[in-house]
Structure 1
């Protein structure tokens, strides 16, 4: 199998295609995780993307090989997990915005300090805290431990809309979600 093919997804594809296909995929980090219910796509030609102005020390992993992690700190507080896509050097990725928690619930509850399942992974910062994702995973392949990805079941219904929390390219409909999921960070219109 090709190193950029994982869980039935070609990570060499454009980020918006990968973001849509990731809905329903199960992602685990050291056995803790769940079903991806919300993603956002970013591309090097997209003014909302960290890669838009070219490689920096912070975003270098986003220009690396596909099917690798790009982990960054948001607002100096929360870690955010992205999966790199497109060819090496392009600068594209998919932000994993929300999961339906399935595996390692006790670890998630302890890390997040809550028993409310919606509050465990309903946002990129919450998700990283629940899964124990830190900068230490930046640049690592998502095809090998501590990561594990399992293909989405057939017949997933995906909805889309504008991305959240950005000030540029706000109308680009590159936010994707599992239709009807109560675990997304913000409802789709």
Structure 2
């Protein structure tokens, strides 16, 4: 499957399908191990109330990055999917850091590599993703996306860190990963 075909799928297909792929920004990054789906009819989605100047990138062509501040503290990166104008995106929650660890360690200043990319804010800080990246294409410089080198076993759990529709099993993780943001709760295949 090509990247364009993958990103044109539903939020659930994309969230599941991106697991195992490697995302790089300026040659620094890792394997995606956790993602969450956000559909336009989802009350937890920034697109739920329609398009605004803040969330406009969510409505972009599949593969457009939607980068926003969470609680005014951390940047979070999402990947727009489904047909342009839909308002669907997948939040990248965690990576297994594999490339550019020295740079990530300098940016994050944490004692354990496990803490480099084990959460959406940690991930963006480690890769140097900021609001300036909002609207960029996931597969175009300074970003690169490399396909998974092997199939991965995926589990789903309810999403974390939200207050609306929190029980939907729209969080996707590679089974048995030690790099996820939080341990799976009520995981199912």
Same fold (TM over 0.5): yes
- Bucket of the pairwise TM-score, normalised by the shorter protein: over 0.9
1:43-54 alignment runs, 5 A limit: 43-54=39-50
Moved over 2 A (4+): none
The answer for the alignment partner of 1:16 in structure 2 is 12
The answer for the alignment partner of 1:137 in structure 2 is 133
Task: Report the number of matched residues.
Answer: 185
- After TM superposition, give the deviation of residue 171 of structure 1 in Å: 1.4
The answer for the alignment partner of 1:104 in structure 2 is 100
1:11-160 alignment runs, 5 A limit: 11-160=7-156
The answer (yes or no) to whether the contact 1:33–1:103 under 8 Å persists in 2 is: yes
Q: CA RMSD in A?
A: 1.3
Please list the CA deviations of residues 121-146 of structure 1 after superposition, one character each: whole Å capped at 9, or x if unmatched: 00000000000000111001112111
Please list the CA deviations of residues 16-57 of structure 1 after superposition, one character each: whole Å capped at 9, or x if unmatched: 110001110100000000000000000111111000000111
Q: Tell me, which stretches of 5 or more residues in structure 1 are unaligned?
A: none
The answer (yes or no) to whether the contact 1:34–1:99 under 8 Å persists in 2 is: yes
Rounded to whole Å, the distance in 1 between the matches of 2:139 and 2:115 is: 27
Q: TM-score, normalised to structure 1's length?
A: 0.95
Rounded to whole Å, the distance in 2 between the matches of 1:48 and 1:20 is: 19
Please list the CA deviations of residues 105-130 of structure 1 after superposition, one character each: whole Å capped at 9, or x if unmatched: 01000000124111100000000000
Please list the CA deviations of residues 48-92 of structure 1 after superposition, one character each: whole Å capped at 9, or x if unmatched: 100000011110100111111000000000000101001111100
**Quick check: 1:173 aligned with 2:136?**
no
Rounded to whole Å, the distance in 2 between the matches of 1:17 and 1:144 is: 21
